[in-house]
Chains A and B, each alone.
Chain A
Amino acid sequence: MASITLNHVAKHFGNKVAISDIDMKVEDGEFLVLLGPSGCGKSTLLRMLAGLETATSGEIHVGGRRVDQLPPSARDMAFVFQSYALYPHMSVRRNIAFPLIMRQFKWWFHIPLLGGLAKRRIERSPAVSELVEKTARTLSLTEMLDRYPRTLSGGQRQRVALGRAMVRQPEVFLMDEPLSNLDAKLRSAMRAEITRLHQRVGGTFVYVTHDQVEAMTMGTRIALMRDGVIQQFGTPREIYTSPANTYVARFIGTPPMNLIEGRVDAGMIKLGEANLPLPQALAAAGREAGRDPVLLGIRPNALTLAASGGQGQLAGTVSLVEHVGAESVVAVKLSHAATAHDEEGAVAGEIMITTQGYSELKAGDPVSVVLDLSEAVLFSRSTGEQLRAGLALAA
């Protein structure tokens, strides 16, 4: 019942546009990841969903109910903060019970002593205490219920923050980079824990991160954002295999997708000196470009290295070899073909290739690159958009 619909949602801070005109529909039970570099507007979008920021224009509906003018507490959403935002003066038990206490809050709870007694009564009432205990058990926090946040480790604090969100049994969970303050090992453990939480409690999750690994592993849907605009909205697989534009192509994957300049002509693509036949689907897409230059997008693992030059291979020299354990990343400077590079500054004319095992290559070695075009994609060089064969086929 908790699908989320955004209609033309925009947010301006003065003259600055943080979010421009976003339309999106997230189905009930999805795990949506808002992915993008810092400053892309993903946190702002999340905070608008929560009601911590008001949308400049547009509508937000949750489960058919319009919420964009409701205060945060009336939206039936839970929010997990990057800094956890635990209440330092309350025990773990009180932190988790707090949203439930607030549901029965009366103004006279502010009176010292009297209010304290009333709050404790609510906290100890069977309905509340059972829910708190159950939540704590789920998150293995039972032993820590009477401790205070400052005595907990980072991972434990994170779990308390999750508990405070879970106990409300909301329709929507919102999370703002909840793992970024944890060390690498703990982070992957908590990643799995949140995924399990999603499977167990259900509900719709919206999760903000700048970490593509979190996005790929946790999300059922990813919205990749840049400068307040959604670049692509799709499943992790779609985003990986069929990036909507060169920005998405370069953002996802380590090392990122190679973009080699070329021209399509009669089912063949000409990359520098080499001329390669395109698979049928790509050839159809290539026709959309006509005589315009295109960019061939190909993942580093679809490339292999051969010792000597052959038909349909790209000649080059090794410029750098990095050993990452199970595989090696080889940077090759192409002799004839040019490559596109993004603002992160890949060196012009260089492509990245991953090879299994420990590569014996050294910088300066001449090599020949073999391309497997079965999973490659084509982009228009002028617009950066992916070329797809005919609208009918794409739909």
Chain B
Amino acid sequence: MRSPASHAVRMALIMVLLSAALFPIYWMVVTSLTSSANLFADRPQMLPDPSQAFNYAETFAKTSVLLWLRNSAIVAVGTMVLSILLAILPAYALSRFKFRGKGLLGFVLFATQMLPEAMLVVPLYAIFAKLLLLDTLGGLILANAAFTVPVITWILKGAIDGVPIEIEEAARIDGCSRIDIVLGIVLPVVAPTLAAASVIAFFHGWNEYVFAQTLVLSQELRTASVGLASFVGELSTPIHTVMAIGVMYTLPAVAFYLMVQRYVVAGMTAGSVKG
């Protein structure tokens, strides 16, 4: 039914779309592999120059990028683990129990999505000072998870809604207590969604900037987002070094994302399409 011409137009549009989506990432890689001389040439170098790979070695030597990446990884993994641990039980309760205050809990979880992180920075700073959490990665994790737990609770609740209640009844007859059912039956059944939720929490921790910028002061606890941002507008570091750091910060995330994107997309859309 479709003419070949319209098919060609469509494929061309798709190519344009993909180029637009990928070009900035590509350009970051190219810049990180451009010699200092070519950076400021009249005609920009359009292809990566592998001979400039030593630039990465120099970046390792001159900056603390490895330390930053390590800190980001700790924060991301910590945020992921903490949010999942905290979200499982309320997600189950929201899906399966009837209780007074359920509507309120649902509203509170949704309302947290409206709070800008920047708004809570000051009071959190005061609380962290009291609890001795200031300038620790653990504190950062606690602050980040407060923003991911509500999202993850909603996503998991949606998945648990889809688990037939008969499976739980069968397990009760087979001798499972409620906690046996949650941990032994429901969680394994919603494992794909659990994976998606974990990835979403991981990315939140990996990307986070405001708290990492404000609640952590020591140089050796900087995360990659803060480290990278510190170069913007600063002129003494050559741009290919900045871009090399950008590549090291971005590409692992993108690669990880591409590996798990089927789960993430499923989890993300399960929460949003149903509304």
Q: Which residues of A contact B (CB under 8 A)?
A: 50-52, 71-73, 77-79, 81-89, 98-99, 102-103, 105, 109-110, 164, 168
A-B contact pairs, 16 of them (CB 8 A): A72-B169, A77-B173, A81-B166, A81-B170, A82-B166, A83-B164, A85-B166, A87-B167, A87-B170, A87-B185, A89-B188, A99-B175, A102-B175, A105-B175, A105-B180, A110-B184
If A85-B164, A87-B167 touch, whether A79 touches B173 (CB-CB below 8 Å) is: yes
Is B11 at the interface (CB under 8 A from chain A)?
no
If A103-B175, A105-B175 touch, whether A85 touches B170 (CB-CB below 8 Å) is: yes
* Bound: A84/B167 CA distance, A: 8
Find the B residue at minimum CB distance from A77. B173
B183 & A85 in contact (Cβ 8 Å cutoff): no
Is B93 at the interface (CB under 8 A from chain A)?
no
Contacts of B179 in A (CB 8 A): 110
Contacts of A85 in B (CB 8 A): 164, 166-167, 169-170
If A89-B188, A89-B191 touch, whether A71 touches B176 (CB-CB below 8 Å) is: no
B174 & A99 in contact (Cβ 8 Å cutoff): yes
* Bound: A83/B180 CA distance, A: 21
Determine how close the nearest CB of chain A comes to the CB of B183; give it in whole angstroms: 5
Q: B142-164 interface mask toward A, CB cutoff 8 Å, 1 = contact, 0 = none?
A: 00000000000000000000001
* Bound: A99/B180 CA distance, A: 13
* Bound: A84/B179 CA distance, A: 22
Is B102 at the interface (CB under 8 A from chain A)?
no
A102 & B176 in contact (Cβ 8 Å cutoff): yes
Find the B residue at minimum CB distance from A176. B166
Find the A residue at minimum CB distance from B185. A87
* Bound: A79/B164 CA distance, A: 16
> Top 6 nearest A-B pairs by Cβ distance?
A102-B175, A85-B166, A73-B175, A85-B170, A89-B188, A99-B174
Which one of B169, B183, B184, B188 contacts A81 once the chains associate, using CB atoms below 8 Å? B169
A71 & B166 in contact (Cβ 8 Å cutoff): no
A79 & B170 in contact (Cβ 8 Å cutoff): yes
Determine how close the nearest CB of chain B comes to the CB of A11; give it in whole angstroms: 16
Q: A72-B173, A109-B184 are in contact. List 19 more A-B contacts (CB 8 A).
A: A50-B173, A52-B169, A52-B173, A72-B172, A73-B174, A73-B176, A81-B166, A82-B166, A85-B167, A85-B170, A86-B170, A87-B189, A89-B188, A89-B189, A102-B174, A110-B179, A110-B183, A164-B170, A168-B174
Find the A residue at minimum CB distance from B179. A110
Q: Is the interface of B mostly helix, strand, loop or mixed?
A: helix
B166 & A83 in contact (Cβ 8 Å cutoff): yes
* Bound: A79/B166 CA distance, A: 10
* Bound: A192/B2 CA distance, A: 55
Q: B197-227 interface mask toward A, CB cutoff 8 Å, 1 = contact, 0 = none?
A: 0000000000000000000000000000000
* Bound: A79/B173 CA distance, A: 7
Determine how close the nearest CB of chain A comes to the CB of B188; give it in whole angstroms: 4
* Bound: A85/B164 CA distance, A: 8
B183 & A164 in contact (Cβ 8 Å cutoff): no
* Bound: A255/B256 CA distance, A: 65
Contacts of B189 in A (CB 8 A): 87-89
Determine how close the nearest CB of chain B comes to the CB of A277; give it in whole angstroms: 56
Contacts of A72 in B (CB 8 A): 169, 172-173
Contacts of B183 in A (CB 8 A): 110
Which of B173, B175, B176, B180: most chain A Cβ within 10 A?
A: B173
B174 & A98 in contact (Cβ 8 Å cutoff): yes
Which of A86, A89, A164: most chain B Cβ within 10 A?
A: A89
Find the B residue at minimum CB distance from A99. B174
Determine how close the nearest CB of chain B comes to the CB of A118; give it in whole angstroms: 12
Find the A residue at minimum CB distance from B191. A89
Contacts of A86 in B (CB 8 A): 167, 170
Determine how close the nearest CB of chain A comes to the CB of B33; give it in whole angstroms: 43
Which one of B164, B167, B172 contacts A71 once the chains associate, using CB atoms below 8 Å? B172
* Bound: A335/B103 CA distance, A: 64
If A87-B185, A88-B189, A89-B189 touch, whether A52 touches B167 (CB-CB below 8 Å) is: no
* Bound: A336/B275 CA distance, A: 63
Contacts of A89 in B (CB 8 A): 188-189, 191
Contacts of A51 in B (CB 8 A): 172-173
Contacts of A98 in B (CB 8 A): 171, 174
Contacts of B173 in A (CB 8 A): 50-52, 72-73, 77-79, 99
Determine how close the nearest CB of chain B comes to the CB of A10; give it in whole angstroms: 22
* Bound: A81/B174 CA distance, A: 13
Contacts of B171 in A (CB 8 A): 87, 98
Find the A residue at minimum CB distance from B187. A89
Contacts of A84 in B (CB 8 A): 166
Contacts of A78 in B (CB 8 A): 173
Contacts of B188 in A (CB 8 A): 89
* Bound: A261/B241 CA distance, A: 101
* Bound: A89/B179 CA distance, A: 17
* Bound: A93/B55 CA distance, A: 57
Find the A residue at minimum CB distance from B180. A105
* Bound: A77/B189 CA distance, A: 25
Contacts of B176 in A (CB 8 A): 73, 102, 105
* Bound: A83/B164 CA distance, A: 9
Contacts of A73 in B (CB 8 A): 172-176
* Bound: A98/B180 CA distance, A: 12
* Bound: A103/B174 CA distance, A: 8
* Bound: A89/B171 CA distance, A: 13
Which one of A52, A109, A110, A168 contacts B172 once the chains associate, using CB atoms below 8 Å? A52
Find the B residue at minimum CB distance from A111. B183
* Bound: A168/B169 CA distance, A: 16
Find the B residue at minimum CB distance from A165. B173
* Bound: A88/B188 CA distance, A: 9
